[in-house]
Amino acid sequence: MNETRIKVIKPKTGFFDLGFSEIWAYKELLYFLVWKEVKIRYKQTVIGAAWAVLQPLFSALIFTFLLGSFLKVPTDGIPYPAFAFTGLILWTYFSNSVSTSANSLIVNQNLVGKVYFPRALIPLTPCVTALLDYAIATVLLFGFLMVFHVAITPMVLLLLLPIALTALLASGLALWVSAIDVKYRDVGYIVPFFIQMLLFATPILYASSLIPKAYEWVIYINPLSGLLSLQRGIFLGTSIDWTLVGVSTVLAFAVFFTGMIYFRHYEKEIADVI
């Protein structure tokens, strides 16, 4: 006799019910969403996944020419191409994840309106997909370090820590902006501008030591600053500001958990509003 399975959808049990168990139960769906996005991204491309490294690579070369050669921006003694590329691969992951997630619910509105599943999987998908690009770019980074004779220290064993914290931060922002974008479509225009401004407000293309003491507070309220300090310390052997890393870690967790809370609170309205 065939067994009939019935899915019972109940209201959230509380304000702080983040639904991690439900997301885990639908992990196979997340896998298929990620795989679909990867195939769409590289479909009918000549060089395929190599595009994952071209964006940070070309950016590093351009900024090396402008900032490293002309303006002689201080880099704490690290060759500028290696200094810039180390920061840009982390930045590229963050910017691509948040930018793609911003209108992800709008793009997938047919799926949202027809099938039940944890809606958080949709904005989280770009954050997972972009990890592939980061992994490919990291392999190239080791080539950069060899070419420019940058010594690899035992700290490299912690190489997953910066990207894990950045993924947490990006996922939190993705949940925030995707949910707000459903109600206020202006977010789709604001996010790219915000991302562009954040590029110059974060010590990616210059060392944090270049920032005047009077403006150090800007670095501390920007969670990417500490994550970049950690990224460069691990790969380049530069000094790590552990206080800044601690503040950035707390902010990354705060952004993620508040993003989950807000998304879960608003999730029941998404299908109707979209």
For residue 266, give both structure tokens.
Answer: 């608003």
Own/partner contacts of 54-57, CB < 8 Å, gap of 24 or more, are 55/92, 56/85, 56/88, 56/89, 56/91, 56/92, 56/137, 57/85, 57/137, 57/140
Burial code of 47-85, b = ≥16 C-beta within 10 A, e = fewer?
eeeeebbebbbebbeebbeebbeeeebebeebbbbbbbb
pLDDT tens sequence for the chain (274 residues): 455 555 555 555 555 566 778 888 888 888 988 988 887 776 766 555 666 677 787 788 788 887 766 667 878 788 888 899 999 999 999 999 999 998 888 888 888 777 778 889 999 999 999 999 899 899 989 988 998 888 889 999 999 999 999 999 999 999 999 999 988 888 888 898 889 888 888 988 888 888 888 888 888 999 999 999 999 999 999 989 999 999 999 999 999 999 999 998 887 777 666 6
CA-based nearest residue to 89, from 137, 41, 146, 140: 137
- pTM of the predicted model as reported, rounded to 2 decimal places: 0.87
Under 8 Å CB-to-CB from 190, ≥6 apart: which residues? Answer: none
